[in-house]
Each structure stands twice: as structure tokens, then as C-alpha cells.
Amino acid sequence: MFAEPEQSDSSARITLRAIYHGRVQGVGFRYRTARLAQQYPVTGYVKNLADGTVELVVQTQDRPVLEQFFDDMMLTFATNVTDVAVEEIGSEPHFQQFEIQH
């Protein structure tokens, strides 16, 4: 699902940003995402955006963990999400936990 990282440093953090489109606000999306994130060694945040989309920023050191997390996200929200745009972004800042931002 994701391109292989260019560097082979196993301690490097991988940070992905996803924007979810569809019926994603007012349906418990942020709460259920935070609950799902508790099952994985990930940090970051989820928040509603003014345009009706939801932003998810998730960080970990293990790419297969990210792939499984995003697969579970799609299974959880298959009926709500009409489109998702995912991009790898810089690993700063380092998040301490996963949280819902307001």
C-alpha cells in the first residue's frame, strides 16, 4: 500500500497524514479512531477540519504497523469514507501519544 522508505534506519519514525472525505463528522469518527489507535504502537492525532473532512496524523517506527492500522481504519469506516488522501510527511514533531484534537 505504501512505498518503501528510502532510508534503512530502523529507528526512524514514519509519519503519515490522511484526509478523510465523506460522512466523517458527527458520526464518532474521531472517537473510534482514537480507540483503534490504542490497539497499535502509534502516536499522533485526529481532528475535524472546517471543510467537513477529518485529518489523521499517525506516527510509528514500524511501516507494517501503519499498513495494518490503515487497513483497520478502512474496514471500520468503509460506509462513511468516500475518499482518503494519504501522504508521508516529515517526522517532526515527535508525538508522545495519540489524541483527539479540537
What the block records as the C-alpha cell of 87 is 501522504
Annotation says 23 is catalytic? no
Q: Is 30 a catalytic residue?
A: yes
Find the catalytic residue in 17, 32, 48, 80.
48
Contact at 8 Å (CB) between 14 and 58? no
Closest CA to 69 of 53, 81, 56, 82: 56
Longest dimension (CA), the chain: 40
Query: Which sequence positions are flagged as catalytic?
Result: 30, 48
